[in-house]
């Protein structure tokens, strides 16, 4: 892995999350009690032994910078390699269209060009999994491929992966083509949008697309020219959640209540790292009653909690009832409040006696720092 | 802060033999406390919260876990370009190697280290106590009193006073007399083992003390009494708030239980005075549909399927179905299997309590220290 540079591209779809993504990109959505979505791919890369990672931050930079900082939680505050952040820039001199992410990749070309590594690992953040990337990398190197794509064979019964990339293999199991899943087939090979790629191939694809004006997005440029390269694939068989809309985000959170999923996601191929908050343990007071829930540190609970995900530093007062909900960091839920199918963003305050009821497929969402006083039904 | 710099010297070499098996592999300051901390996290967090960024940690007894816990001090924000945390073990020189003979000798051996930092004041701390304290306020007091030594004291119940080193003081808090564990206490102000010295004065006394063959090289027994005899200005600084010496298994268990009491005054949730510790990067804990958790502290990575009452759980602990854990402290990695019952116990790291086993009973007055091989009553 020493010869491989990690690249995470955070220009992802974030308009399917309503108020949750008002000031943060998808990659920074709080997830599973104490993480952000990006922690999973970032930890996967670090756990694989890659020590140099470039992150293209996308537009909502503040949240990204705040979370990643110097990269210390991921052991990326390095003298040799480490974390590099690329924010959008304004440039008058561009002669080509400023749509998509290709232009940003080109502007930061020198990072990749002068890096000593000869191979690249390209990924996005929205496919949440705990993957051992070494398996795919070995395959990529041994087969002398130009590109190696990671996929997971899925049985998509509830159409969670509509709009995602699907990979088609021929009868020998070799790469045939890649397209978009419209839901026609239940069983298909879901592309995790994680690719190993030779550096020279990357430049080839990038420059070709810019010169010809044939693509705006790196992915588009890649798909246009796949026929020119030796492409191999690697199947991953662990748990994958795709965070591309609120429904999937909610399901992905509740999925960890299943012990198989949580073991897979948190422990299977290494630890998941995140920004440290130094919260004390969670204090269950004398009226606490908690059932089937994930609870992070720093909470003070005196109410009833069921089938829920409670993030760090949440206060739940006596008489409060929380069911089927995702309660983010430092929310304050006061006496006799009643929440069912609710997503509360960070630092929300639910005053005494307030009732908030959402629906299983359409949760009630309260934005960051919301303070809810009167009853909303 | 350049003027009148204060550095801290933290005595962390003690064995804490009365903690028995808890200190079999680690020094007392590295003993786990309060669900996610080690005892030394309290003085170290107090230092960084008080704005003291030069901390020398004197180690001697079984330092491995302590050293790896301290690392470069980044957990407490003490990894600094200048200053920061330094671990100071005994060392050899031209005259050969020596162990630290006592608390004062440990500082004596590191005079050159302190000289290099050239502080005006030296704060002596011990790594044995649980408390939250702003040392910068104590320093201000020390300066206002123009004292040579300021000793932090805390009021203890009269009936327990004879267990402590006591300060008999004038109304202006100047010290009249210091008595180590007297039978008939004249005062109930116990020394907390926290001293602020003027470095120049302390330096002289340390050198003189080293030359005295009859000295025990201890702050409480030797340095402080000598300074008193010489008419130096000693003041007591009264600390108010939670303070506990976790000297024995029983008091260790009690101080953990204190965190669960309504009357608890050690607020771990105060965001203005956080207690920092090394982070383990574990997922949140899970409480199953059959579990019951009341009046307890739970740390990350645990999986609870049984019932907990008045219990402090550290990280990565499994509690099986129908298991009962009451009035207990369970250290990280332990497993309480299905149907097991544990009362009034301190369960050590990675101990597996087999299905159906019973330890203690509801109305026990003794505390059980449960290790892998044996159970000690205390």
Whether A289 contacts B307, CB under 8 Å:
no
Task: Identify from A31, A277, A283, A303 which residue to disrupt to test chain B contact, counting B C-beta atoms within 10 A and taking the largest count.
Answer: A283
Handedness of CA B199, B200, B205, B208 (dihedral sign): positive
CB contact under 8 A, B293 and A310: no
What chain B residue is nearest to A73 in terms of C-alpha separation? B281
**How many Å apart are CA A51 and CA A5, to the nearest integer?**
7
Cα angle A114-A115-A120, degrees, rounded to a multiple of 5: 125
Using the Cβ of A257 and the Cβ atoms of chain B, whether some distance falls under 8 Å is answered with yes
A274 and chain B in contact, CB less than 8 A? yes
pLDDT for the residue B179: 87
- DSSP assignment of B138-157: HHHHHHHTT-SEEEEEEE--
DSSP conformational letter for A281: P
Task: Tell me the chain A residues in contact with residue B312 when contact means C-beta distances shorter than 8 Å.
Answer: 281
- Cβ of A282 within 8 Å of Cβ of B298? The answer is yes
Smallest CA-to-CA distance from A42 within A130, A147, A159, A172 is with A130
- Give me the DSSP letters along A342-360: EEE-TT-EE-TT-EEE-BT
Query: What is the helix (H) or strand (E) element at residue A9, kind and residue range?
Result: strand A4-9
- Identify whether A275 is part of a domain: no
Q: Which of A266, A293, A327 is the last residue of a domain?
A: A266
d(CA A76, CA A62): 19
Of residues A120, A147, A140, the one with CA closest to residue A5: A120
- Nearest alpha carbon to residue A261 among A128, A99, A96: A128
Q: What is the pLDDT of residues B105-162, one digit of tens each?
A: 999 999 999 999 999 999 999 999 999 999 999 999 999 999 999 999 999 999 989 8
> What angle, rounded to 10 degrees, do the helices at B41-50 and B135-144 form?
60
Residue A197: CB atoms within 10 A of its CB come to 24
Instruction: Answer whether residue A109 is part of any domain.
Output: yes
Of all helices (H) and strands (E), which one includes residue B55? strand B54-58
Residue A66 lies in a domain: yes
Instruction: Determine contact: A284 vs chain B, CB below 8 A.
Output: yes
Q: Is B254 labeled as ligand-binding?
A: no
The 10 Å Cβ neighbour count of residue A295 is 30
Residue A352 to chain B, least CA–CA distance (Å): 22
Of A271, A288, A291, nearest to B289 by CB-CB distance is A291
A-chain residues near B284 (CB < 8 A) = 32-34, 294-297, 309-310
A284 → closest Cβ in B36, B283, B296: B296
Question: Do residues A146 and A171 share a domain?
Answer: yes
A185 Cβ partners below 8 Å, 6+ apart? none
Q: Which residue in B68, B16, B69, B15 sits closest to B44, CA to CA?
A: B69
Cβ neighbourhood burial of B142 (10 Å; 0-12, 13-18, 19+): buried
Number of domains in chain A: 2
How far is it, in rounded angstroms, from Cα A61 to Cα B132? 37
Q: Are residues A157 and A297 both part of a single domain?
A: no
- Beta pairing partners, B292: B307
Domain edge (last residue) among A266, A291, A320: A266
Cα-only R_g, chain A: 22
Query: Which of B283, B298, B326 to substitute to test the interface with A, most A CBs within 10 Å?
Result: B283
For residue A97, pLDDT beyond 70: no
For the segment A147-188, what is each residue's pLDDT rounded down to a tens digit? 999 999 999 888 999 999 999 999 999 999 999 999 999 999
Residue A149 domain-assigned (yes or no): yes
Which residues in chain B touch residue A296, judged by CB atoms under 8 angstroms apart?
A: 284, 300
φ, ψ for residue B86, nearest 5 deg:
-130, 130
Residue A298: count other Cβ atoms within 10 Å of its Cβ: 24
Using 50 as the pLDDT threshold, list the residues of chain B that sit under it.
Answer: 1
Q: For residue A99, what pLDDT band results from cuts at 50, 70 and 90?
A: confident
Q: Which of B48, B262, B284, B332 to mutate to test the interface with A (most CBs of A within 10 A)?
A: B284
Q: Is B373 exposed, middle or buried (0-12, 13-18, 19+ CB in 10 A)?
A: exposed
- By the 8 A CB rule, do B145 and B198 touch? no
Which chain A residues in 108-147 lie under 8 Å from chain B, judged by CB atoms? Answer: none
Q: Are residues A28 and A110 in the same domain?
A: yes
**Residue A272 within a domain:** no
Contact flag B36-A280 (C-beta cutoff 8 Å): yes
* Residue B120: alpha-carbon gap to chain centroid: 25
What's the gap in Å between the CA of A174 and the closest CA on chain B? 38
Q: Which of A218, A236, A266 finishes a domain?
A: A266
- Whether residue A69 is found in the same domain as residue A33: yes
Task: Answer yes or no: do A37 and A158 share one domain.
Answer: yes
Distance CA A306, CA A257 (A): 11
Helix (H) / strand (E) element for A68: namely helix A61-68
Q: Do both A172 and A298 map to the same domain? A: no
Q: What is the pLDDT of residue A129?
A: 98
Cβ-Cβ contacts under 8 Å, A291 against chain B: 287-289, 291
Within A108-241, where are the H helices?
109-114, 133-142, 199-212, 218-225
List Cα–Cα distances, B302 to A229, A321, B31, in angstroms: 48, 23, 20
Residues A99 and A168 in one domain: yes
Q: Is A44 on the interface with B (CB under 8 A)?
A: no
| Angle of helix A38-48 versus helix A61-68 axis, rounded to 10 | 40
Contact call for B295 and A33, based on CB within 8 A:
no
Cα-Cα-Cα-Cα dihedral sign, residues A64, A66, A72, A73: negative
CA–CA separation, B32 and B38 (whole Å): 4
A284 min Cα distance to partner chain B (Å): 5
Helices A199-212 and A218-225: crossing angle in degrees, nearest 10, is 100
- Does residue A377 belong to any structural domain of this protein? no
**Of A75, A137, A205, A3, whose CA–CA distance to B71 is shortest?**
A75
What are the tens digits of pLDDT across the range B28-81? Answer: 999 999 999 999 999 999 999 999 999 999 999 999 999 999 999 999 999 999
Q: Do B36 and A262 touch (CB under 8 A)?
A: no
- Look at residue A31 and tell me whether its pLDDT is greater than 60: yes
Identify the closest residue of chain A to B278 by CA–CA distance: A278
pLDDT band with cut points at 50, 70 and 90 for residue A93: low
- The CA distance from B62 to the nearest CA of chain A, in Å, is 27
Secondary structure (3-state) at B366: coil
A269-291 as b/e: b if 16+ CB within 10 A: beebbbebbbbbbbbbbebbbbb
Taking the CA of residue B21 and the nearest CA in chain A, the distance in Å comes to: 24
CATH code, domain with A43:
3.90.550.10
Q: Are residues A198 and A124 in the same domain?
A: yes
CB pairs under 8 A between A and B: 98
Q: Which domain holds residue A223?
A: 4-266
Asked if A281 lies within 8 A of B288 by C-beta distance, the reply is: no
The torsion region of residue A369 among left (phi > 0), alpha (psi -120 to 50) and beta comes to: left
Q: What is the model's pLDDT at position B1?
A: 47
| B269 contacts on A by Cβ (under 8 Å) | 280, 283, 298, 300
**Residue B287 CB contacts under 8 Å (≥ 6 apart), including other chains:** A290, A291, A292, A293, A295, B293, B298, B304
CATH number at residue A362: 2.160.10.10
How far apart CA B367 and CA B378 sit, in angstroms, is 5
Q: Is B100 annotated as a binding residue?
A: yes
Are A107 and A208 in the same domain? Answer: yes
Instruction: Give the 3-state secondary structure of residue B172.
Output: coil
Identify whether residues A33 and A153 lie together within a single domain.
yes
Q: Is there a contact between B294 and A295 if contact means CB atoms under 8 Å apart?
A: no
Clarify whether residues A237 and A288 are in a common domain. no
Q: Give the closest residue to A120 by CA, choosing from A204, A50, A57, A43.
A: A50
Q: Which of A73, A286, A294 sits opposite B286 (nearest CB)?
A: A294
B180 marked as part of a ligand binding site? yes
What pLDDT, in 10s, does the model give residues A112-158? 999 999 999 999 999 999 999 999 999 999 999 999 999 999 998 88
DSSP state of B74: G
Q: B170: which residues sit within 8 A by CB, 6+ positions away? A: B176
**Residue B228 carries which DSSP code?**
H
**Residue count (chain B):** 378
CA–CA separation, B124 vs B194, rounded Å?
Answer: 6
**Rounded Cα distance, A149 and B282, in Å:** 30
For A265, the closest chain B residue by CA position comes to B283
Residue A242 lies inside a defined structural domain of this protein: yes
| C-alpha separations of A95 from A204, A212, B12 in Å | 19, 12, 65
B68 is annotated as contributing to ligand binding? no
A305: three-class secondary structure by DSSP: strand
- Which residues contact residue B82 at a Cβ distance below 8 angstroms, ignoring those fewer than 6 apart? none
- Looking at the DSSP bridge assignments, the partners of residue B358 are B341
The DSSP code sequence of B274-293 is PPP------PPEEE-TT-EE
Q: Is residue A271 part of a domain?
A: no
Q: Chain B: give the shortest CA distance to residue A257, in Å.
A: 8
With a cut of 90, say whether residue A75 has pLDDT above it. yes
Distance between CA atoms of residues B60 and A170, nearest Å: 66
Substitution target from B32, B279, B287, B331 for chain A, most A beta carbons within 10 A: B287
**Residue B244 forms beta bridges with which residues?**
B130
**Strands A282-284, B296-298: pairing kind:** antiparallel
Residues of B within 8 A of A42 (CB-CB) are none
Shared domain for A206 and A260, answered yes or no, is yes
Alpha-carbon distance of A226 to A187, in angstroms, equals 23
């Amino acid at each position: 892995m020493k010869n491989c540079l990690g690249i995470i591209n955070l220009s992802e779809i974030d308009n399917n999350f309503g108020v949750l993504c008002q000031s943060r990109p998808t990659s920074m959505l709080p997830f599973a009690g104490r993480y952000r979505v990006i922690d999973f791919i970032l930890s996967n890369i670090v756990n694989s032994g890659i020590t140099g990672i470039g992150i293209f931050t996308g537009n909502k930079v503040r949240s990204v910078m705040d979370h990643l900082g110097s990269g210390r939680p991921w052991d990326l505050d390095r003298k040799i390699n480490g974390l590099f952040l690329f924010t959008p820039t304004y440039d008058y001199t561009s002669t080509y269209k400023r749509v998509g992410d290709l232009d940003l990749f080109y502007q930061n070309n020198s990072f990749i060009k002068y890096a000593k590594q000869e191979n690249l690992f390209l990924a996005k953040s929205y496919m949440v999994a705990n993957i051992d990337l070494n398996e795919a990398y070995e395959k990529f190197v041994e087969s002398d491929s130009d590109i190696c794509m990671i996929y997971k064979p899925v049985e998509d019964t509830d159409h969670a992966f509509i709009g995602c990339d699907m990979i088609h293999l021929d009868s020998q199991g070799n790469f045939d083509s890649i397209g978009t899943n419209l839901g026609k087939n239940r069983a298909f090979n879901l592309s995790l949008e994680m690719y190993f790629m030779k550096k020279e191939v990357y430049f080839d694809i990038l420059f070709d697309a810019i010169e010809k004006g044939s693509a705006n997005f790196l992915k588009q440029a890649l798909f246009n020219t796949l026929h020119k390269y030796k492409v191999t694939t690697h199947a991953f068989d662990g748990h994958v959640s795709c965070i591309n809309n609120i429904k999937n985000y909610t399901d992905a959170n509740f999925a960890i209540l299943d012990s198989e999923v949580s073991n897979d996601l948190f422990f299977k191929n290494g630890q998941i790292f995140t920004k440290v908050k130094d919260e004390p343990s969670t204090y269950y007071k004398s009226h606490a009653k908690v059932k089937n829930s994930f609870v992070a540190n720093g909470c003070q609970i005196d109410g009833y909690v069921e089938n829920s995900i409670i993030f760090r530093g949440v206060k739940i007062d006596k008489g409060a009832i929380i069911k089927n909900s995702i309660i983010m960091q430092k929310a304050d839920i006061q006496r006799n409040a009643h929440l069912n199918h609710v997503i509360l963003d960070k630092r929300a305050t639910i005053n005494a006696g307030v009732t908030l009821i959402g629906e299983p497929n359409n949760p009630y969402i309260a934005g960051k720092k919301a303070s809810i006083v009167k009853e909303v039904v | 802060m350049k003027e009148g710099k204060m550095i801290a010297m933290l005595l962390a070499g003690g064995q804490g033999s009365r903690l028995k098996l808890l200190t079999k592999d680690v020094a007392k300051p590295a003993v786990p406390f309060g669900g996610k901390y080690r005892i030394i996290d309290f003085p170290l967090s107090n230092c960084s919260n008080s704005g003291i960024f030069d901390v020398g940690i004197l180690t001697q007894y079984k330092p491995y876990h302590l050293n790896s816990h301290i690392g470069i001090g980044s957990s407490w924000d003490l990894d600094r370009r200048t200053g920061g945390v330094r671990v100071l073990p005994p060392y050899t020189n031209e005259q050969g190697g020596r162990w630290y003979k006592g608390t004062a000798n440990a500082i004596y051996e590191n005079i050159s280290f302190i000289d290099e930092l050239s502080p005006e004041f030296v704060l002596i701390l011990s790594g044995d106590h649980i408390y939250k304290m702003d040392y910068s306020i104590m320093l201000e007091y020390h300066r206002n009193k123009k004292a040579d030594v300021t000793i932090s004291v805390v009021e203890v119940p009269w009936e327990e006073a004879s267990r402590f080193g006591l300060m008999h003081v004038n109304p202006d808090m100047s010290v009249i007399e210091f008595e180590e564990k007297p039978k008939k206490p004249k005062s109930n102000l116990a020394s907390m083992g926290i001293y602020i010295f003027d470095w120049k004065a302390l330096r002289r006394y340390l050198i003189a003390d080293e030359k005295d063959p009859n000295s025990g090289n201890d702050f409480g027994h030797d340095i402080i009494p000598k300074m008193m005899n010489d008419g130096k200005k000693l003041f007591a600084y009264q600390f108010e708030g939670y303070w506990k010496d976790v000297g024995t298994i029983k008091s260790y268990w009690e101080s953990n239980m204190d965190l669960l009491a309504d009357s608890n005054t050690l607020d771990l949730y105060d965001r203005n005075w956080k207690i920092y510790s090394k982070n383990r990067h574990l997922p949140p804990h899970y409480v199953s549909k059959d579990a019951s958790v009341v009046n307890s502290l739970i740390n990350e990575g645990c999986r609870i399927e049984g019932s907990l009452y008045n219990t402090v759980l550290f990280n990565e602990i499994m509690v099986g179905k129908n298991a009962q854990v009451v009035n207990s402290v369970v250290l990280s990695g332990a497993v309480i299997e299905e149907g097991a019952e544990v009362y009034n116990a301190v369960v050590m790291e990675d101990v597996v309590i087999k299905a159906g086993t019973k330890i203690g009973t509801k109305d026990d007055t003794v505390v059980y220290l449960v290790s892998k091989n044996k159970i000690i009553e205390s």
